[in-house]
Each structure stands twice: as C-alpha cells, then as structure tokens.
C-alpha cells in the first residue's frame, strides 16, 4: 500500500534496531525501546512472543537493560472473548487476552523494561490490567492509571488530560485532543500512530500542539535519526500524512491533501492499529479517492461520483466523532 509498509527492516539498516525486528517484525514499541535505552523514557511495557523470549532476553543483556515479566497471555482467545461478552463492555478498552499458566506456542509474555531497577519496580507496581476471574471483575484502581503513566514518562499535562477525558463509553479522547489544539498541529505531537513502528509519541497527548510532547518526540527523533536516518525520515513522512480519525479504534492514514477542514483527497489509505483488520470503513475508503465530512456522516467519492457513505455513531462504546488532521513536520 505504501513504500514503508513492507521494508521496515531495510530502513533500520545494520543498526541494533534490526535485532528487535527479528523478535517483533512489526516494530511495535521499537521507538519506546530506543527512548528507554537512551534514558529519555524511564520504563516501558510490551508483549513478546514466547517463542522469541530467549532472543529478547539476549537483546536486553546486550543493551544493558533490566526487565521483568509478570504473565503469559493469549490474544484473540475464544475463551477470553466469551468472558468479555459476559461483562460490562464500557469497562474495557482494546487489551483483551486470556491469562495462561504455561508458555504455550500461542502465548505472549507481558514484560516491563527499564534502564534502572528503581524505575522498573515503579512501572511493575502500577502496570496491571483489569482482570476477570470467572464471573467477577477486578477493576484497576483509578490512581494506578496515573501512576503507570508517570512511570512511563508521560507528561503531566497529558496525564491530567487523560484522567479528565478517558471514558470509552461516554467520550472520545482523540477528538478532545483535537479540539484542545490551539495553533498548528505538529507531527512531533502526533500520537495517532502510537501503535505502529512509526510513532514517536507513545501516549495520547493533551493536544496535537502539546509542547512537552513535542520536546520529548524531538529528542527521540534525533536519536533515531543518528541510528537509522532512513527510518527517521519515514517516521516524519507518515506522521505528517493526512489522517482521518473516528475513535481510538478507527484511525486511517492517507497519502493526499486536506482541503479546508472537512475534505481529504487521497491516492491510498491504510487502517492504523488498533483499527481492526476487517474494518468496514477502510473498505469503503479504498473504493474512492476523496472523503468529505458533514457533521457525523462521511461521504466517499471517486472523482465526482459518490461511491459510499458512512454514518458515524457516538451512542456506543468508543464513540465515533470524526475529524481530519494534517500535522506539520
């Protein structure tokens, strides 16, 4: 779909970043690992395929980092999905997995990483997820959400914004961040690609012009550019692309241009994680080359012909409140 999607390994050259791609080919969390390794970020957590665990441990030793694993999980487990269906969906976001006692072939390892034992301990203490045991749920204490954000190095202004705005049943954090943006949106504060290898921002910023976020991202970009300049340029290209966002689960990056605030003309489009692979809207967008937003309705055109429309709904879990954004490099 685009020139960067399938050649991430070639973009990082012969740097140590390629060792991480041998473990997690998608590159998810690679920018955060660079930040932790260089002291820009106190800690991080990630999921490592069990079959790659020995390689991961070897990489951590090579980088001189501390790590701690707390559980095995299986994502997309039928048993886990059934357990969630029996619960109140508004209590959950996108992390849905089955905890398993043994390292099965499908298992992933939840692991925390830091450059110091102290920072690692702080992240582990606050970095847990809500748990379903049988028919009972153990919700995560509200205070631990903020403690975990602090342990991961998220700016205070963004943590305060998250505490105020994060409610998947009633609110849309990304739309709030967009509405809170005063001045020009900046690629260095673009967190929409945070679940990809090209995201410099691992959190939801309080705005797309947040100074604290921009400063962190610029420092990280400089480190990545020194290590793998082609990879760094690809990051800025993607972070500067027009993006259509409906919710935290519906994000679409485009190659094209935004006209005014409600029209984008594009040559291609890709669904950005955590957007589901079998997403209805990305199929509709792929059939056209222009989308217009009128209140909560998206009209998809091919040339001058209307080929599809999509009715965005805000009356459900993960409310859909569409907006278009282009972030200046």
Report the alpha-carbon distance of residue 197 to residue 186 in Å, rounded: 18
In 3D space, the residue among 144, 141, 114 whose CA is nearest the CA of residue 127 turns out to be 144
Weakest-pLDDT range from 168-172, 182-186, 195-199:
168-172
Confidence of residue 2 (pLDDT cuts 50, 70, 90): very low
Domain ranges of the chain: 42-152, 245-325
Q: Are 245 and 173 in contact (CB under 8 A)?
A: no
Supply the pLDDT for residue 132.
Answer: 66
Supply the pLDDT for residue 260.
Answer: 77
pLDDT higher than threshold 60 for residue 329: yes
The pLDDT tens digits of the residues spanning 250-305 come to 999 999 999 878 999 999 999 999 998 789 999 999 999 999 999 999 999 999 99
In 3D space, the residue among 72, 66, 41 whose CA is nearest the CA of residue 149 turns out to be 41
Confidence of residue 3 (pLDDT cuts 50, 70, 90): very low
Report the alpha-carbon distance of residue 205 to residue 159 in Å, rounded: 8
Beta bridge partners of 23: none
User: Where is 322: in which H helix or E strand?
Assistant: none
Tokens matching residue 181: 């943006």
Measured torsion, CA atoms of residues 150, 244, 1, 308, in degrees rounded to the nearest 10: 150
Residue scoring higher pLDDT (98 or 219): 219
The pLDDT tens digits of the residues spanning 107-148 come to 889 999 999 999 999 999 998 776 666 666 776 676 777 899
In 3D space, the residue among 177, 179, 180, 193 whose CA is nearest the CA of residue 236 turns out to be 193
The pLDDT tens digits of the residues spanning 15-60 come to 999 999 999 999 999 999 999 999 999 999 999 999 999 999 999 9
Confidence of residue 317 (pLDDT cuts 50, 70, 90): confident
pLDDT higher than threshold 80 for residue 84: no
**How wide is the angle at C-alpha 258 spanned by C-alphas 254 and 264, nearest 5°?**
60
The model's pTM is 0.88
Tokens matching residue 51: 């079959």
**CA terminus-to-terminus distance, the chain:** 22
- The predicted model gives 180-188 an average pLDDT of 94
Tokens matching residue 306: 């209307």
pLDDT higher than threshold 90 for residue 152: yes
């Amino acid at each position: 779909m685009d020139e960067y999607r399938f050649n991430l390994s070639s973009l990082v050259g012969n740097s140590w970043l390629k060792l991480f791609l041998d473990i997690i080919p998608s590159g998810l969390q690679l920018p955060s690992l660079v930040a932790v390794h260089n002291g820009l970020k106190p800690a991080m957590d990630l999921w490592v395929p069990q079959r790659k665990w020995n390689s991961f441990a070897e990489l951590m030793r090579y980088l001189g980092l501390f790590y701690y694993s707390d559980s095995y999980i299986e994502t997309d487990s039928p048993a886990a999905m059934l357990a969630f269906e029996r619960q109140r969906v508004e209590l959950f976001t996108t992390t849905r997995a089955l905890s398993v006692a043994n390292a099965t072939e499908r298992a992933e390892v939840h692991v925390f990483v830091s450059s110091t034992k102290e920072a690692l301990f702080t992240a582990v203490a606050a970095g847990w997820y809500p748990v379903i045991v049988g028919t009972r749920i153990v919700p995560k204490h509200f205070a631990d959400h903020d403690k975990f954000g602090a342990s991961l190095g998220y700016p205070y202004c963004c943590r305060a914004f998250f505490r105020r705005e994060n409610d998947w049943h009633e609110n849309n954090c990304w739309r709030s961040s967009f509405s809170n943006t005063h001045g020009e949106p900046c690629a260095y504060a673009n967190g929409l690609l945070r679940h990809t290898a090209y995201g410099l921002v691992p959190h939801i910023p309080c705005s797309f012009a947040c100074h604290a976020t921009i400063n962190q991202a610029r420092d990280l970009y400089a480190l990545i550019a020194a290590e793998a300049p082609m990879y760094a340029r690809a990051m800025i290209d993607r972070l500067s692309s027009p993006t259509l966002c409906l919710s935290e689960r519906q994000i679409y990056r485009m190659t094209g241009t935004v006209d005014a605030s409600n029209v984008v003309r594009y040559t291609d489009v890709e669904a950005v994680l955590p957007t589901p692979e079998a997403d209805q809207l990305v199929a509709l967008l792929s059939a056209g080359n222009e989308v217009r937003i009128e209140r909560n309705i998206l009209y998809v055109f091919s040339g001058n012909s209307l080929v599809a429309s999509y009715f965005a709904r805000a009356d459900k879990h993960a409310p859909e409140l569409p907006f278009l954004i282009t972030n200046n490099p």
